[in-house]
Structure 1
Amino acid sequence: MTLESNQVSVVMLGASGAVGTEALNVLLQLKNIKQITLLGRSPIPNITAGNVQQHKIDVGDASSYQSFVQNSTTAICTFGVGQPSKISKEDFIKIDKTAVLDFARECKKAGVKHFELLASVGISSSSSSFYLRTKGELVEELKALSFDRLSTFQPSMILTPNNRYGLGQAITLKIWPLLKPLLFGGLRKYRGVPVSILGQAMAKNILKEGKGYEALQWDDFYSISK
């Protein structure tokens, strides 16, 4: 079953990033979304849709956006560090965990029913990987907030049309698609996903009915984005 789009009001954190941009583009094409509220460090240019509101906020200060999350039914969070290896562990926790959790708490207080998070494949609060453990801890804390519905999108490599992070990413973007035939069965979740498919899935999933916690991976992205 699907929800009527005119029943949905969305608040987004991270709409200017690669995945957020794709999700926002799809949201703007969906008919009758009641309202789209974009929160960020600076406005996104060239958005003229009448149902869009943009607010410049301090992501580290929840009081700067408290009032802007009101009257939203759904939250989409694609906010986070593009290259975690380039910053300290303390800063990574501050951005990818603390700021996201603060946003989620404000959403919960405001009555948001459905929270969507861009996470990663392999996340676990008991992982030996600092990155995966931090993301896993975040998800456990989000579960404790008891949203009516919590959707975590868990991609492996996100395939972007442009290289944003130098030689390492350039090599990865070339090699990862070649691994697809080797990633089958339980390994399918490690297949690379085009950023456009992931963004479409995050946007269209808000119109699907659901309850409780869902961890969405490679096959789900393609199923939802159709």
Structure 2
Amino acid sequence: MAQKNATLVGATGLIGGQILQQLLEDPDFAIIKVLVRRPIDFTHPKVQLIILDFADEAAYQVAIAGSDVVFCSVGTTLKQVNSDMVAYRKIDYDIPVNAARFCAATACPKFLLVSSIGADSQSRNFYLKLKGEVEEKVGSLGLSTVSIFRPSMLLGQRAEFRLGERIGQVLMGVLGFLIPAQYKAIDVKTVARAMVAVAKKDTAGVQFYTYAEMMGLSA
């Protein structure tokens, strides 16, 4: 198998950090372009660190160009944007949708997106509605392969403390046997392994992956 060039958007996040580690350890990937908004203290022979203003669409497209696969795991919270819904949408909608657009424009065949279980453009929940809108737009761009991953509660150690998420993790652990499979908590390492596995498969069209599929792929 010829080595691939990967681009990662969202490397500083919980899942993105794990995707990066998986790619670094995988000999099938020769170059990993890591797109970030500000400098990070990280070096590796396989990594090309690109500091980018994601609102600069021309620069964004240049950064995507030459990729065989693009991973997008970017996301924010209302707390991080001080409840600014416009800023929230620029991160959670504009960044992934533009990444997919530039995949199409530069003939990158594979786009992998972290979404959420329950994503639905018709939802009354702002978060799930936005995730659904992203999924629909990305799926409409004519890419050869779009792989959408829909985890539920994520298990992993974030840099910042989120009380609600920590409580949810505890409850998931105690009551997990009562929860339908697709809503079960999942370790971020499992999600990352599944994404890298799918990136190396020959698939076509828009594919969705929930708990059971991700568990199987990462085994």
Q: Shared fold by TM > 0.5? A: yes
Q: Is 1:191 aligned to residue 184 of structure 2? A: yes
Identity %: 28
How far apart in 2 are the matches of 1:73 and 1:32? Answer: 11
93-102 or 158-167, which deviates more: 158-167
Deviation at 1:58, TM superposition (A): 0.5
Higher RCO (C-alpha 8 Å, min separation 6)? 1
**Are the equivalent residues in 2 in contact too, given 1:24–1:203 (CA < 8 A)?**
no
Question: Would you say 1:114 and 2:107 are equivalent positions?
Answer: no
Equivalent residue letter for 2:7: V
Among 196, 199, 206, which residue is 1:213 paired with? 206
1:5-44 deviation per Cα after TM superposition (whole angstroms, max 9, x unaligned)? x342111111111100001101111014132111111344
**Aligned twin of 1:60:** 55
Quote the Cα distance in structure 2 between the aligned partners of 1:220 and 1:182: 19
Runs (5+) with no aligned partner, structure 1 = none
**In structure 2, C-alpha distance between the alignment counterparts of 1:171 and 1:218, rounded to whole Å:** 20
What residue ranges of structure 2 are gaps of 5+ in the alignment? none
Matched, 1:14 2:10: yes
Residue in structure 1 matched with residue 218 of structure 2 by the alignment: 225
- 1:202 aligns with 195
CA RMSD of aligned residues (A): 1.7
> Would you say the 8 A contact 1:179–1:191 is kept in 2?
no
SS at the partner of 2:12? coil
Report the 3-state secondary structure (helix = DSSP H, G, I; strand = E; otherwise coil) of the residue aligned with 2:208.
strand
TM-score of the superposed pair, with normalisation by structure 1: 0.89
2:217 is matched by which residue type in structure 1? I
Aligned to 2:65: 70
What TM-score, normalized to structure 2? Answer: 0.92
Aligned residues: 217
> C-alpha distance in 2, partners of 1:130/1:156?
16
1:98-125 deviations in Å (ceiling 9; x for gaps): 2221222112101111100010001111
Letter of the aligned partner of 1:134 in structure 2? L
